[in-house]
Amino acid sequence: MILFPAIDILDGRAVRLKHGDKSQATVYGEPLDFAEMWAEAGAEYLHVVDLSGAFSGESGIDDVIREIKSKFGIPIESGGGLRSIEDIERRLDAGADRVIIGTMAICHPDEFALAVYKFGNKIVAGIDAKDGYFAVSGWTEQTDVKAVDFGKKVRRMGLEYALFTDISKDGVLGGANVEATVNMSRETGLNVIASGGVSTLDDIVRLKESGIYGAVLGRAIYDGALDLSEAIRAAK
């Protein structure tokens, strides 16, 4: 299983949010400092998110992506603020290896279909669930689309990867929603990256043993509840 240390960027700083609420942000420091830290700990992939872009719809972290890639050469998946084909192209050109698309898929399905056609599995479906339903616009709006139904749809479109986030678990160190994550994987056939609440080695082992493809690590590695190097060893 691949672990994806998160670097969530809000107003140019690395932060963690509670339940995706920007009013409940903990500021940690410079994104590049954490990119270096996670790379030195043995990270195989980074998860870099433009939170400012997720809330505003205007992407603004391409320079950070470019600098991380040039300095550390580590693969990057990146989301936040990607609302158009042009946004996706800029993020990929900046050095992202995959881009996470959520809001566009619901709000602009034709453009999303074009993105899937154009970029294939450089697209990771961002499936953010609240009470089982898809949430958009930085998790501020809940839709009437069931998360699993959306997962099945993108798999039929040819996508292989999805980032599944249980919003209720995000940023609170409350443990991963393993059951919902496994259900998403089994019901859709997607390679699912678990996000939200992954905070212990037990979470990692349970996800790994359940056949989950990957997991995002956030607050737990920032607050020191989980050692990234140790977690990577547990995921192997």
Report the pLDDT value the prediction gives residue 25, as an integer from 0 to 100.
73
Percent of the chain with pLDDT over 70: 88
- Residue 137 pLDDT grade (very low, low, confident, very high; cuts 50, 70, 90): low
Ordered DSSP codes for 82-145: --SHHHHHHHHHHT-SEEEE-HHHHH-HHHHHHHHHHHGGGEEEEEEEETTEEEETTTTEEEEE
Q: Class for domain 2-235, per CATH?
A: alpha beta
Please write down the HEC assignment for all residues of 208-225.
HHCCCCEEEECHHHHCCC
Q: What is the dihedral of CA 101, 45, 184, 198, to 10 degrees?
A: -110
CA–CA distances in Å: residue 37 to residues 58, 84, 142: 28, 32, 35
For residue 196, count other CB atoms closer than 10 A to its CB: 28
Quick one: tokens of 59? 């992407």
- Residue 172 pLDDT grade (very low, low, confident, very high; cuts 50, 70, 90): very low
Catalytic entry in 8, 87, 166, 203 = 8
Q: Is 227 considered catalytic here?
A: no
Q: Is 50 considered catalytic here?
A: no
More confident position, 80 or 53 = 80
> H/E element holding 155?
helix 147-156
Round to whole Å and give the CA distance between 179 and 173: 17
Q: Among the listed ranges 13-22, 102-111, 126-135, 209-218, which one has the minimum average pLDDT value?
A: 13-22
pLDDT tens-digit profile of 27-42?
888 999 999 999 999 9
pLDDT tens-digit profile of 192-224?
999 888 889 999 999 999 999 999 999 899 999
Catalytic entry in 128, 166, 170, 203 = 128
At residue 147, φ and ψ (nearest 5 deg) are -60, -45
Report the pLDDT value the prediction gives residue 73, as an integer from 0 to 100.
94
